[in-house]
Amino acid sequence: MRGQPLLSPVIHREKMAAAPVMMPYFGQQISSKSDLVPDWTRQEVSTGTTIMAVEYDGGVVIGADSRTTTGAYIANRVTDKLTRIHDKIYCCRSGSAADTQAIAEVVAYQLGFHSIELDEPPLVETAANLFRASCYRYREELTAGILVAGWDKRKGGQVYSVPIGGMLVRQPVSVGGSGSTYIYGFMDANYKPGMNKEQCMEITAAALSLAMERDGSSGGVVRLASISEEGVERRVILGNQLPKFSTH
Amino acid sequence: CSCAVVNAVLEIEASKVGCSVPAARKTGTTICGVVFKDGVVLGADTRATEGMIVADKNCSKIHYISPNIYCCGAGTAADTEMTTQLISSNLELHSLSTGRLPRVATANRMLKQMLFRYQGYIGAALVLGGVDCNGPHLYSIYPHGSTDKLPYVTMGSGSLAAMAVFEDRYKPDMEEDAAKQLVRDAIAAGIFNDLGSGSNIDLCVITKNKVNYIRPHDEANKKGVRTGDYKYKQGTTGVLTKAVTPIDLELLEESVQTMDTS
């Protein structure tokens, strides 16, 4: 029997790590002693991930890799971690696959209901707060690191980060997941405010490629999406088409 | 760290009587599914294990959810059985309420929300497949409640062996016979390369108007025929002495109790 799919990073409950750390997740595991069942089947399913979101003038660009792991086995190599919450609001999921799917579905329901009540497209900040409400209230039970990004009429393109623990902060650029540790330097060096949509797409694809190359828990294809007043445009960059940095 | 889930009270009570708590029966399994041109093909082996012993040589791992949706189950046998039955029942009620044939996405939602609620304590890893008004669909569902929607999935201890076959030979929009052969080969890979899987191969082919539940599709492990016999003819062992002691039984009481069958 396989373990739970995880989107790492996972951090020890005792420490409050500022940045996500690559550590094995010691979730509740079902008793299976003697067994014909190999060890990796008892791991929780993780989207050991790299996710990213960038604001530009007029919208946002979001990106993610496509790998979901149970221990050392890749349960899904073409995962879509860019989850639609509303027409122009998406979230990038990292952490436990079960936890993030459940939270995203709950928030999508709540936001859909709220939007019908308002008779108006919902605000990105509202969606982010709904995520934060669930992630903070159940912080002891959940392992979920989420980036909420989208476009609304009031503030344009926005990126909100809801990391493990349930903090909420708006940032122009945010990276997350176990692979993000490898690209903080790249982002600090290469991100400049005032980039346009195509530049954001390029930097996101480049950053994700670099992270996927180095992080064992990230890989597969790069999924990109841009959200603006015009709508949502989705792209997939397959493995062989990724930007290459190594010459050896 | 693997925290064994243990019923401490049961263990104490059992040891008082001099017994040990029996191990839960697991389907150390190979199950898989594939989407083809006209529908989905689900496959499963038929071995159920209790530790290292085969508890059931021919158990049925493809469970009925609704006329157009079936679900293969790996993990704790009781959990997969009861979970699929519960969702099947609720889905039938839902179908009567909506007046429509149930959708695979609905079954998926119901299963994942229940498994998430139990935080992985229900050890059911499922492959859910069916055909509805939106076409053929295939989901894999994990015990903690995460799901993946894919064109081909494998689960269970033999899933790596089966996935190797799929990754080599899967093509989109296959014909029914090619899909059946592919699933058969994937389960066979699990049966012959994984100790937790064995016996026969069951298939379930679901298309828009028809379900073909083929049990067994392939008896990959037929019981052999004994070439010798350990029976000896009467008289092989010589009898030296014979003493017969009749036991006299005295009838003490006879009473008749009629059963009320009205």
Q: Which residue has the tokens 């990724």?
A: A242
Residue A61 lies in a domain: yes
Express each pLDDT in B129-141 by its tens digit.
Answer: 999 999 999 999 9
Residue A60 lies in a domain: yes
Residue A9 lies in a domain: no
**Interface contact A75-B121, CB threshold 8 A:** no
Please give the average per-residue pLDDT across B150-162, as a whole number. Answer: 96
In 3D space, the residue among A72, A78, A234 whose CA is nearest the CA of residue B170 turns out to be: A78
Listing from the earlier edge strand, what are the strands of the sheet with A59-64? A173-176, A51-56, A59-64, A222-228, A231-237
Check whether A33 has a pLDDT greater than 60. Answer: no
Q: What is the CATH number of the domain that holds A166?
A: 3.60.20.10
Identify residue A210 by its one-letter amino acid code.
Answer: L
B216 prior amide bond cis, ω within 30 = yes
Judging contacts by C-beta atoms under 8 Å, the chain B residues touching residue A29 are 2-3
**Structure confidence at residue B24 (pLDDT):** 60
The length of chain A, given as a count of residues? 248
Q: Which residue has the tokens 């708006």?
A: A170
Q: Is A109 in the B-facing interface, judged by CB distances under 8 Å?
A: no
Distance, CA of B181 to CA of A54 (rounded, Å)? 47
CA distance A190 to chain B (A): 35
- CB contacts < 8 A, A to B, total 115
Distance, CA of B117 to CA of B114 (rounded, Å)? 5
- Confidence bin at B23 (pLDDT 50/70/90): low
Residues A66/A77, Cβ–Cβ less than 8 Å:
yes
Q: What would the DSSP string read from start to end of A100-117? A: HHHHHHHHHHHHHHHHHH
Token pair of A7 as six digits: 């989107």
Residue A31 lies in a domain: no
Token pair of A183 as six digits: 């690209």
- Confidence bin at B19 (pLDDT 50/70/90): confident
Check whether A84 has a pLDDT greater than 50. Answer: yes
B49: β partners:
B26, B54
Which of B144, B155, B166 best probes binding to A when mutated, by most A CB atoms within 10 angstroms?
B144
Helix (H) or strand (E) holding B131: strand B124-132
Q: CA of B197: which chain A residue's CA is closest?
A: A36
Please give the average per-residue pLDDT across A207-215, as a whole number. Answer: 95
B60-66 CB contacts, 8 Å cutoff, 24+ apart: B60/B202, B60/B215, B61/B27, B61/B29, B61/B31, B61/B202, B62/B202, B62/B204, B62/B213, B62/B215, B63/B88, B64/B88, B65/B91, B65/B102, B65/B107, B65/B128, B65/B130, B66/B91, B66/B92, B66/B95, B66/B101, B66/B102, B66/B107, B66/B130
Please give the average per-residue pLDDT across B205-210, as a whole number. Answer: 96
Q: CA of A106: which chain B residue's CA is closest?
A: B113
Into how many domains does chain A fold? 1
Express each pLDDT in A90-145 by its tens digit.
Answer: 999 999 999 999 999 999 999 999 999 999 999 999 999 999 999 999 999 999 99
Enumerate residues 6+ apart whose C-beta is below 8 A from A105. Answer: B109
Residues B145/B108, Cβ–Cβ less than 8 Å:
no
Residue A130 lies in a domain: yes
**Structure confidence at residue A246 (pLDDT):** 80
A157: β partners:
A151
CB atoms within 10 A of CB A239: 13
Q: What is the ipTM of this complex?
A: 0.82
Express each pLDDT in A167-206 by its tens digit.
Answer: 999 999 999 999 999 999 999 999 999 999 999 999 999 9
Check whether B4 has a pLDDT greater than 60. Answer: no
Q: Is B142 in the A-facing interface, judged by CB distances under 8 Å?
A: yes
Range of the domain at A127: 47-241
Residue A18 lies in a domain: no
Residue A122 lies in a domain: yes
- Confidence bin at B3 (pLDDT 50/70/90): very low
Residue A173 lies in a domain: yes
DSSP character at residue A22: B
